[in-house]
């Protein structure tokens, strides 16, 4: 039988997440909106792609429409066997934004693709974004605004929302993103002043912090 803890814990925590996120939206969001961008440090936008020919072009287009100037886009084809790289070439041809292309012949996963892009980066910040994401025009500007001048902050994440809700599974995913991701992260920020996880869909990192983590992981792997 289900114990009292197992029965009431999810219900209790649901109220905590909803109340915390609601209070943050009503009180704290106003202060966040008032923050102003002090400068435009260099940002490299990394997009690791594997068989993303359908949405890649539109995703890159949304990046090129950002109201932020000092950034470049690095597209990594992670061993795709469709027309992904062709879409990359078209995007580089059609858009004025600086776009760099990296083609990997063998698919080795998202982490490996992003690490390959990291090796050549000289930017202060790195934005990792999925190839099936459409960004609002102010997304990059707001992310940089949120991390600038805060030396103890190494990453800020965006708010992913499901746009395609035509099918039942997509509608359920929309609910999952809204309650399980959006509300919980907002509540964590309200109660703890930080969040416990960042979204792989859209997160801005300090480049130095990423390199430190990568070096530590490589040292650990060699020792193991």
Average pLDDT of the segment spanning 206-210: 93
Average pLDDT, stretch 137-159?
Answer: 89
Output the pTM of the full model.
Answer: 0.80
Residue 84: burial class (beta carbons within 10 Å; 0-12, 13-18, 19+): buried
pLDDT of 211 over the 80 cut: yes
Mean pLDDT of 99-123: 94
Can you give 135-183 as a three-state secondary structure string? CCCCHHHHHHHHHCCCCCCCEEECCCCCCCCCCHHHHHHHHHHHHHHHH
Average pLDDT, stretch 18-35?
A: 60
- Which pLDDT tens digit goes with each residue over 55-88? 999 999 999 999 999 999 999 999 999 999 999 9
- End-to-end Cα, the chain, rounded Å: 43
CA atoms lying within 13 Å on the CB side of residue 108: 11
- The answer on pLDDT for 97 being more than 60 is yes
Mean pLDDT of 24-38: 62
Please report the sign of the dihedral spanned by the C-alpha atoms of residue 159, residue 122, residue 68, residue 51. negative
Confidence at residue 138, expressed as pLDDT on a 0 to 100 scale: 93
Can you tell me the mean pLDDT for 132-154? 90
* CA 176 – CA 174 distance, rounded (Å): 5
Residue pointed to by tokens 């040292």: 219
The answer on pLDDT for 1 being more than 50 is no
For residues 20-33, give the mean pLDDT. Answer: 59
Provide the token pair at 66: 């950002």
* Higher-pLDDT residue of 154, 185: 154
Give 189-201 pLDDT, tens digit per residue. 777 777 777 778 8
CA atoms within 13 A on the CB side of 111: 5
Q: Who wins on pLDDT, 36 or 70? A: 70
At 40 the pLDDT is 92
């Amino acid at each position: 039988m289900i114990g009292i803890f197992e029965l009431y814990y999810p219900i209790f925590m649901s109220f905590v997440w909803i109340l915390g996120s609601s209070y943050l939206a009503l009180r704290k969001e106003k202060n966040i909106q008032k923050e102003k961008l002090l400068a435009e440090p260099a940002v490299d936008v990394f997009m690791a792609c594997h068989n993303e020919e359908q949405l890649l072009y539109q995703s890159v287009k949304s990046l090129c429409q950002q109201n932020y100037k000092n950034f470049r886009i690095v597209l990594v084809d992670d061993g795709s066997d469709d027309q992904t790289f062709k879409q990359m070439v078209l995007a580089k041809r059609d858009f004025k934004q600086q776009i760099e292309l990296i083609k990997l012949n063998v698919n080795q996963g998202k982490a490996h693709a992003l690490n390959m892009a990291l090796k050549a980066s000289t930017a202060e910040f790195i934005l990792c974004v999925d190839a099936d994401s459409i960004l609002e025009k102010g997304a990059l500007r707001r992310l940089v605004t949120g991390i600038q001048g805060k030396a103890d902050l190494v990453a800020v994440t965006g708010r992913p929302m499901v746009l395609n809700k035509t099918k039942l599974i997509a509608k359920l995913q929309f609910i999952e993103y809204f309650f399980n991701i959006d509300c919980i992260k907002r509540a964590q920020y309200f109660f703890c002043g930080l969040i416990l996880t960042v979204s792989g869909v859209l997160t801005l990192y300090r480049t130095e912090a990423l390199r430190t983590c990568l070096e530590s992981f490589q040292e650990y792997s060699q020792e193991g």
